[in-house]
Amino acid sequence: MKKIVLFALAIAAVCTVQVYAKSGDVIGNVYSSDIIAYINDVPVPSYNINGRTVIIPEDLEDYGINCYYNDELRTLLVYMYDTMNPSVQNQVARGTPGRITNKIYETDIKTYVNGELIQAYSLNGKVAVAIENLGKITDDNMEYSPYNMRYVWDGKNRAISLYYLYDNSGEIMDLIRDKSIGITFDNDVLDFYVDYFSHGSFGGRSSSRSVNPPSTYPLYYQGEKVATGFDYRAAAFYQTDSGKKTLDFVDNTGIYYDVGAIKNIVDNIVVPKITYEDVLNHFTADTSSSTILDRVDTDYCTFLYMSFISGTGGTEALIRIDKDGSYKDYSDDFTSHSQFGNISFNNLRIENEKVYFGYDDVDYVIDLKSGDMYKQ
């Protein structure tokens, strides 16, 4: 009898062993849905899986989402840290909820979003991830998930919106470039200063924050929150000396600015007028690191063709200084082909208050009287 009992227990133990799905196994259904999904306010195609709204990142690359796949590592890297493309406004129609439209499959592909591992599904031969997982806030003290995202459910309009942080410093640079203003940091406090000669700039900011786990933190100006700093790990594929692929991570930080708040601050900063003499002295006083290659003075402006020397080599500038103290460096309008941003011009000559020169096999003219530059 004892042997029979032991045999029965053994059979029971075998029967209760959990069976895990293998890659390619059907693990559920895809249902039609009347929910509209948005990412940073742009409508995107979505699907309903087990009551969650999922997206396929590889189908959204035209929207601004970047995907990189390595079959050797069976790994997909998804990056959502650029602005969504506003020109992609494909019509997304509501479906009739509850109808089975496809199958979900188990996948062995590891998926990282902004450097963090996430649960993924196989749908239509591609990887799908749930908006609820991307935007789930796991810490009551945080505004965003470990993926630097949050989601909002609108039950009235049957819509789910995913918002992610991205570094929009470029937008802020456009605001401060023509205002002669720079931004600097003191810990988590922003400050604004007059910056006549850098066309807008960001001062250095040291940070000892740990990126693992990722976190977000407010940035203030005069006690008001005007930006959100965020940490993230950038995952990338590397090839070892033996030729094998490996996955490595690099810690990064970014800042998402409240554009409206920054614009309001900048618009209310009074920038004192700078004189013609101040500008001319700024560009000509330091002869140790710069050389005037050519110069012409007129009744209304001074033009300087200059070379600047630095640790990364030399770069050239075409500077027109108006008598009222305003100035323009035309080299800012050209794209450098150097990894250090250096620029050099060809065959420059000045005749009849016009500057003729070449760059990148194109000939240009600067009319010193009007200030206009055009192709010859």
pLDDT digits (tens, 9 = 90+) for 259-275: 999 999 999 998 888 89
Q: How far is CA 4 from CA 1, 8, 10, 347, in A?
A: 5, 6, 10, 100
Q: How far is CA 159 from CA 67, 149, 150, in A?
A: 25, 17, 14
Task: Find, among 161, 144, 152, 172, the residue nearest to 228 by Cα.
Answer: 144
Specify the pTM. 0.72
In this structure, are residues 306 and 293 in contact, taking their beta carbons and an 8 Å threshold?
yes
Q: Distance (Å, rounded) from C-alpha 193 to C-alpha 207?
A: 21
* Sign of the dihedral defined by the CA atoms of residues 43, 46, 48, 53, in that order: negative
6 pLDDT band, cuts 50/70/90, is very low
% of the chain with per-residue pLDDT over 90: 52
Residue 220 token pair: 């203030």
pLDDT at 51: 87
110 pLDDT band, cuts 50/70/90, is very high
Tell me if residue 67 falls in helix, strand or coil: strand
What average pLDDT does the chain have?
85
pLDDT at 24: 62
Residue 294 pairs with which residues in a beta bridge? 305
| 57-66, 86-95, 149-158, 336-345: segment of lowest average pLDDT | 86-95
pLDDT at 205: 58
100 pLDDT band, cuts 50/70/90, is confident
pLDDT at 13: 36
Q: Distance (Å, rounded) from C-alpha 113 to C-alpha 149?
A: 11
